[in-house]
Structure 1
Amino acid sequence: MAIARIFQRPKNAMQSGKARTDLWQLEFEPSEAKHPDPLTGWAGSGDTREQLRLFFPTAEAAVAWCEREGHESVVIPAPQKMLKLQAYADNFR
């Protein structure tokens, strides 16, 4: 049985847009450790669930999908957005 993490993606700090931040993302916890490939040296594992990412409109829909498919789920609540209000003149104090 795999454990799935359900969370909302944060806004990308490098861009001003908020695309796909309203969706809930489901990712599976890795079931085995990564090991280096002897030929290339890249880290990898035989766990293919690690490559799977599913998106849902609500956290309840993601939890319902996990229950229907027989997976355990952990919902990570979205952090509260903090606005730091300051004036342009504050840069010159």
Structure 2
Amino acid sequence: MQARIYQPARTAMSSGQAKTHHWVLEYAPAAPRELDPLMGWTGSADTQAQIKLTFATKEAALAYAKEHGIEAIVTEPKKRKANIRPGGYGDNFATNRRRAWTH
């Protein structure tokens, strides 16, 4: 049984860092998904694909995988630097702007 351990990225629709500080262990699919001929839904007999375990640290996730005999692949996150402007959001509406309004 193979699994992937990763730290989730932030959603594309948000600039916040919520739900990105934990680590996730997710099983690799053991069987391909099948198309139901009547309804057109996709399904699988693989119940492990529905499981996502969360851990506070990467070490805890690796310890769980080792304890249960799971072959795990760790994907390290790519950190971005913070985009903090000196004036912040209020600088967009300042009366003493030196640059032209671009919005």
Assess same fold via TM > 0.5.
Answer: yes
Pairs aligned (count): 91
Distance 1:90 1:49 in 2: 55
From the two aligned structures, give the one with the greater helix fraction.
1
- After TM superposition, the score normalised by the length of structure 1 is 0.84
Q: Which amino acid aligns with 2:59?
A: E
| Structure 1 residues 47 and 13: alpha-carbon distance in aligned structure 2, compared to 1, 3 A threshold | same
| Structure 1 residues 40 and 60: alpha-carbon distance in aligned structure 2, compared to 1, 3 A threshold | same
Uncovered stretches (5+) of structure 2, i.e. residues with no partner? 87-91, 93-98
Name whichever of 79-88 and 66-75 sits farther off: 79-88
Distance 2:8 2:43 in 1: 24
Percent pairwise identity: 37
Two-structure CA RMSD over aligned residues (Å): 2.2
Structure exhibiting the larger radius of gyration computed from Cα positions = 2
Uncovered stretches (5+) of structure 1, i.e. residues with no partner? none
Q: Which has the higher contact order (CA 8 A, sep 6+)?
A: 1
- After TM superposition, the score normalised by the length of structure 2 is 0.76
